[in-house]
Structure 1
């Protein structure tokens, strides 16, 4: 698919659409369009304008819902998800204003992970704001990985990748953990499913959650798998288990404590513990790319073993 993004005819069509949208917005392009990102799943183009750079993104088929999803998210939580300048939901194209500095670079400059407290609380607010939008999300094509569907999706993945026995046998654990999580009654909603420090940007003092192409409809707490265990636990120096993630988890759970007053702090912590483990199974299913099993095996290893192989 990556070759499509560099095909001259495709690029000409994308450039024409960009220029047309810029004209409608009253923006003037001031230089050549660059292509800093071209992967199987998406491409990004940088467009210089008199008002600063704007960004075009196109997704391949399974992620084409992102444009329509971001439109919905920005409508619900405009202070947390940046509105698009333009979108073509049929082709999965997005035109975005510049979102500022990536969190990945900022945490190194500031030598602090403290910004994640605000980001995680904001993420919970996004999810709570879309609890009533399940049918709309599914209609947009956002993948269905709710607790009732995840076990079957997990089994299908095992067949697709010809999984080794220990991963196949873990299907029973998927079912068990889903049964454990359901009674807490936390409503399923949009879930980013790949919330790391390359997906958060900071501009004008605000933290913007970006890149919703991997989003799914699932248990909201699944987002903690990647964010807590895949990012924050590694700290600033990329050392496994070097950071106590409890304060970050509590920051995320605080809006849920307000929204679900019948649940105690202990209830929420236990639900988060179960979901953080099961979330890796969701990430393995949702993030699998045919022909590229490496990342899928890494995520399955996190689910089954709770850590990466030595």
Structure 2
């Protein structure tokens, strides 16, 4: 698929669309576009204009719904997800304003993880706000990874790839965890599913979570798997379990404490514990690509073993 993104005819069509949209916005190009990102599933063009750079993104296949999803998010939570400058929902094309400075670089410069607090708060509030939109999310193609179907999806995944017996043996555990998590009655909603510091940008003092292509309809606490265990716990020096993730978890849980007053803090903490582990199984299911089975196996290791093998 990467051949498409570099095909001269496809690029000419993408550039023509960008020019059409920037003209409609009253923007003029000030230089040639760059193509800094090419993967199997998407590509990005950086286009300099008189109002600063704008970004074009095209998705393919299972991620093509991202344009429609971001459009819906901007309608529901415009203070947290910025509206697109333009979109072609049929082709999955988006034109976006520059989001600012990537949080990954700011964390290094500031030698602090404190920016994760407003990010986790915002992501939780987005999920709460989208609880009534599950049908709309599924209708535009957002993957369904809800608790009721996750055990079967997990079993189907293990039929597709070659894995050690312990991963197959965990199929029953997936079902048990889903049942335990469902007891708390937290509504399933939109979940980012790849929440790391490369997906957050800072502009004008605000934190913007971007790249919603991996988002799914699932238990919202699954976002904590990547954010807490896959990122924050490693700290600034990339040392496993070097950071107490409890305060960050509690920041994420605060909007849920307000939305679900029937649940105690202990209830929410236990639900988060279950979801953080089970979230790796969901991430393996939702993020699986036949061309990248190594990533799927690492996620399965995080689920079953609680760590990635060296």
TM-score scaled to structure 2, two decimals?
Answer: 0.99
1:251-276 Cα shifts (integer Å, max 9, x gaps): 00000000000000000000000000
In the alignment, structure 1 residue 143 sits paired with structure 2 residue 143: yes
Compute the displacement of 1:80 (Å).
Answer: 1.1
| Structure 1 residue 165 displacement after superposition | 1.1
Equivalent residues in 2 for 1:143-292, closer than 5 Å = 143-292=143-292
What is the match of residue 17 of structure 1? 17
Aligned residue for 1:277, secondary structure, equals helix
Shift of residue 291, structure 1, vs aligned partner: 2.7
Matches within 5 A, 1:102-141: 102-141=102-141
1:41-93 CA distance string (max 9 Å, x none): 11010000000000000111100010000011111111111110000111011
The TM-score, its normalising length taken from structure 1, stands at: 0.99
* Equivalent-residue separation in structure 1 for 2:164 and 2:65 (angstroms): 32
Consecutive unaligned residues of structure 1, counting only runs of 5 or more, are: none
> For 2:153 and 2:140, how far apart are their aligned partners in 1?
19
2:116 is paired with a residue of what secondary structure? helix
Q: Secondary structure at the match of 1:190?
A: strand
Moved over 6 A (4+): none
Q: Name the SS for the 1:113 alignment partner.
A: coil
Q: Name whichever of 238-247 and 285-294 sits farther off.
A: 285-294
Output the CA distance in 1 between the equivalents of 2:40 and 2:26.
32
SS of aligned partner of 1:257: helix
CA separation in 1, counterparts of 2:113 and 2:291? 35
**Per-residue Cα deviation, 1:91-133 (whole angstroms, up to 9, x for no partner):** 0111000000000000001110001011001100000000000
Tell me the secondary structure at the aligned position of residue 58 of structure 1: strand
Q: Distance in 1 between matches of 2:87 and 2:191?
A: 21
Instruction: Give the match for residue 62 of structure 1.
Output: 62
Aligned length: 310
How many angstroms does 1:164 deviate by? 2.1
Match of 1:301 in 2: 301
SS of 1:146's equivalent in the other structure is coil
Shift of 1:3: 1.1
Q: Distance in 1 between matches of 2:129 and 2:29?
A: 36
Please report the RMSD computed on the Cα atoms of aligned residues, expressed in angstroms.
Answer: 0.6
SS of the residue 1:201 aligns to? strand
Q: Higher mean Cα deviation, 178-187 or 161-170?
A: 161-170
Residue number in structure 1 paired with 2:30: 30
> What is residue 92 of structure 1 aligned with on the other side?
92
* Deviation of the 1:307 alpha carbon: 1.0
**SS of aligned partner of 1:212:** coil
Q: Distance in 1 between matches of 2:75 and 2:208?
A: 14
